[in-house]
Amino acid sequence: MSTIDRLIDRFVMEVGYGRSIDWYLVKLSSIVYEIEDLCRYSMCDSLELFNEFISNERVLKALEPLSCFKDDVVNIINSNPRFKILRKYVRTIESTLATLTCKETKELEIVPRPATWVIEEKIEKQLPKKPIEKIVVGKPKWDIEKTITYIVIAIFIIGVILIIYSVIK
């Protein structure tokens, strides 16, 4: 099984779980990253490989729901930094979606995801603030109970050694 066949299988399987344009673009981005990695280490043209991928019948069938949102897809790719890697392939994606007929078999949501720093900032605000513990540098706290326990154990061991010594003598 060739690399493209594996990418096609994975894309077709995974994209079926999504319900948003964002999901489709995330999955396409994942494929493009793999194609570009593959072409980085071997002599191939990533655009040519992507064309081979996107022209596959199974991929075209999987992309049909996106054909109803051609303009939205292009706008999201061109404006959202998360899909910057797809910008090199936007014309290919746009022309491919233009060849597909919109059947509206699957309604997709247009869910713009905020930037990661916005999400992290919201999460940080929601988390309860932990009080800052002061660390005292200097003398360690003396645990009197442990000290007494060690002394008792030491006295017991010394006593056993003295008894054994006196028995042997």
Whether the model clears a pTM of 0.95, i.e. scores above it, the answer is no
pLDDT value at residue 149? 92
**Is pLDDT above 60 for 154?**
yes
What confidence tens digit (pLDDT) does each residue in 33-45 have?
999 988 888 888 8
Span of 1-15, 22-36, 136-150 with lowest mean pLDDT: 136-150
SS3 63: helix
Distance CA 97, CA 36 (A): 22
Q: What is the pLDDT of residue 54?
A: 94
Between helices 21-41 and 3-15, what is the axis angle to 10°? 170
Least confident of 19-23, 54-58, 100-104, 159-163: 100-104
Alpha carbons 144 and 33: distance in angstroms, whole number: 61
Tokens of 160: 């056993």
> How far apart are the C-alpha atoms of 131 and 125, rounded to whole Å?
15
Closest CA to 102 of 65, 49, 142, 132: 65
* Residue 117: pLDDT over 70: no
What pLDDT, on the 0 to 100 scale, is given for residue 105?
A: 54
**Higher local confidence (pLDDT), 109 or 153:** 153
Parse the chain into domains and list their residue ranges: 3-113, 139-169
107: which strand partners? none
What pLDDT digit, counting tens, does each position of 49-92 carry? 999 999 999 999 999 888 888 898 999 999 888 899 999 999 99
How far apart, in Å, are the Cα atoms of 62 and each of 55, 66, 75, 92, 136?
11, 9, 20, 16, 62
